Amino acid sequence: MEMVFIAAALIIGLGALGAGIGFGLLGGKLLESTARQPELGNQLQTKAFIMAGLLDAVPMIGVGIAMYLIFVVAG
């Protein structure tokens, strides 16, 4: 049973790590490129918004599977 909790913790932890690195890079590049070309800030924000949706796809699905493991398989 403990292995299920370890698996869920790994799924959530590694997903959060990846999302954190990805969002850090995305936010940093957004700030950098907006500082370079402020007139494009509008379009860059929209593109960052779309990329954020793609970036958190895997962690979101991971959260769903981890909750299933915790509350259905182990519970």
Partner 1 sequence: MSPTRKRINRLPFLQWLATETGLIVVWSLVWFTESRLAGYSAFVGGLIYVIPNAYFAHRMYRFEGARNAHLVVGNMFRAETVKLALTAVFFAAVFILMEPVHVPALLFTFAVMVVLSPLLRWFIRPKPQR
Residues forming contacts to partner 1 in the complex (CB under 8 A) are 12, 16, 19, 23, 26-27, 30-31, 34-35, 38-39, 41-42, 45-46, 48-54, 56-57, 59-61, 63-68, 70-72, 75
CB of 64 to partner 1, least distance (A): 5
CB of 1 to partner 1, least distance (A): 16
Catalytic member of 18, 33, 51, 56: 56
CB of 41 to partner 1, least distance (A): 4
Q: Classify residue 59 as exposed, middle or buried by CB count within 10 Å of its CB (0-12, 13-18, 19+).
A: buried
Contact status, residue 59 vs residue 16, Cβ threshold 8 Å: yes
Nearest to 67 by CA among 3, 16, 1, 4: 4
Q: Which residues are catalytic?
A: 56
